[in-house]
Amino acid sequence: MKGLEASPIIKSISDLANSLYFITDHFLLLNRIGAYKFSPKFINQMDFFSNLFWGIECLTNLIYDIIDYYQNIAELQAINQSLKKLENSESEGN
């Protein structure tokens, strides 16, 4: 997956979704502790969006981790190939 640059975009989407999750969750918290009473319709909408943003955040984090995993594998394979070449050149030189 050489040249894959989707990971910063995915991470940004994850961070945005996480921020929106926290914002919507604060409305639910304020209602739950009784600091402010919102209408049931509004609370249901906030609950839906809170769960939606949380799900997006989880999914994008998972995608980010998978991309990072594949990039690490590619880097390790390149290092392994370099070490094999170095080892072969040293053994041929003796």
Number of domains in the chain: 1
- The first and second tokens of residue 12, run together, are 């940004």
Model pTM? 0.76
- Is residue 3 assigned to a domain? no
- Is residue 2 assigned to a domain? no
Query: Could you report the per-residue pLDDT of 33-43, keeping only the tens digit for each?
Result: 999 999 999 99
Q: Which amino acid is at 63?
A: I
- Is residue 37 assigned to a domain? yes
- Is residue 13 assigned to a domain? yes
Average pLDDT value for residue range 27-49: 97
Q: How far apart are CA 34 and CA 30, in angstroms?
A: 6
Q: What are phi and psi of 26, to 5 degrees?
A: -65, -35
- CB of 20 closer than 8 Å to CB of 49: yes
Residue (of 54, 52, 62) closest to 11 by Cα position = 62
- Is residue 74 assigned to a domain? yes
Packing angle of the helix pair 7-33, 40-93 (nearest 10 deg): 150
Give residue 29's domain range.
8-93
